[in-house]
Amino acid sequence: MVQSSAEDVDGYLAEVPEERRDALTRLRQLCRRELKGFEEVMAYGMPAYERDGVGEIAFASQKQYISFYLLRSDVREAFEERLAEQDMGKGCLRFRKPGSIDFDLLRDLLRATAASRGRIC
């Protein structure tokens, strides 16, 4: 599942493979808890979290992995050391197995995102 046509995040989660659903549901709960003042939307076929109409966080179930999109370059730079050991593209972390998701790291990234405003990549 690369891009979903679900109208909302509940619909999206209903479509993901069962072996990933618990991890993605937990990730959604974490986003909703930490990103106060953000709106949960579907953007580009995946769950996203916007502040003032601008997406700053998103996640997706890709064919080979779960992606966590961190769209704030300032937060990525601030966490450079902790992110160095992660499988990471320009703006996303990739987790090949649901059990490999570092929820503590993601929580800290979400908190840093919510705490300030910065440049979107």
- pLDDT tens track for 86-109: 999 888 999 999 999 999 999 999
C-beta of residue 93 within 8 angstroms of C-beta of residue 68: yes
The size of the chain, in residues, is 121
Task: Flag whether pLDDT at 39 surpasses 70.
Answer: yes
Helix axes 103-115, 18-34, angle to 10 degrees: 30
Domain ranges in the chain are 9-114
C-beta of residue 28 within 8 angstroms of C-beta of residue 13: yes
pLDDT in tens, 46-93: 999 999 999 999 999 999 999 999 999 999 999 999 999 899 988 899
Task: Flag whether pLDDT at 28 surpasses 80.
Answer: yes
| Residue 2 binned pLDDT confidence (cut-offs 50, 70, 90) | low
Q: Give me the architecture of the 9-114 domain, per CATH.
A: Alpha-Beta Complex (3.90)
Mean of pLDDT values over 14-34: 96
Strand order in the sheet with 46-51: 39-43, 46-51, 54-61, 66-70, 92-95
Q: How far is CA 80 from the centre of its chain?
A: 17
Structure tokens at 114: 């919510």
- More confident call, 22 vs 117: 22
Q: What is the DSSP string of 45-98?
A: TEEEEEETTEEEEEEEE-SSSEEEEE-BHHHHHHTHHHHTTS-B-SSEEEESSG
